[in-house]
Structure 1
C-alpha cells in the first residue's frame, strides 16, 4: 500500500520539473534565448525613400 503512494508522489514530483507550456505569445515572438537577452534594443533609426509612382522603396 505504501509503495503505491511513493510511486504516485514520485510521478507528481517529476511533473514539477517538466518544461512549461508554450504560449501563443511565445509562438509569435519566439522564446528569450541568451543571444536575444543581451540585445536590448530600444530604438530603430530607419532612413528610406518612398517612390509611389514606381512602387519602389529604397533604403538610404
Structure 2
C-alpha cells in the first residue's frame, strides 16, 4: 500500500509527534506508516483521515506494482 501521510502532515505543519498524539499512537507508529513498513488498522486509517479532513483513499492507495 502506498500512502501520502508525510505529504499531508507537511501541508498541515504537523510533526510526527503531533500527529501521533492526535490519533493516539506512538511516533514510531507514524514513522513506520510513512516508511511503508506498517499498514495501519482500518480504525487507525479512519482516525488519520478524520484528523486531516480527507477520505481514507486520499491517504492510502493500492500499490499496483506489487504482484500477488
Flag the structure with more relative contact order, 1 or 2, with Cα contacts below 8 A and sequence separation at least 6: 2
Structure with more of its chain in strand, by fraction: 1
- The TM-score with structure 2 as length reference comes to 0.19
Structure with more of its chain in helix, by fraction: 2
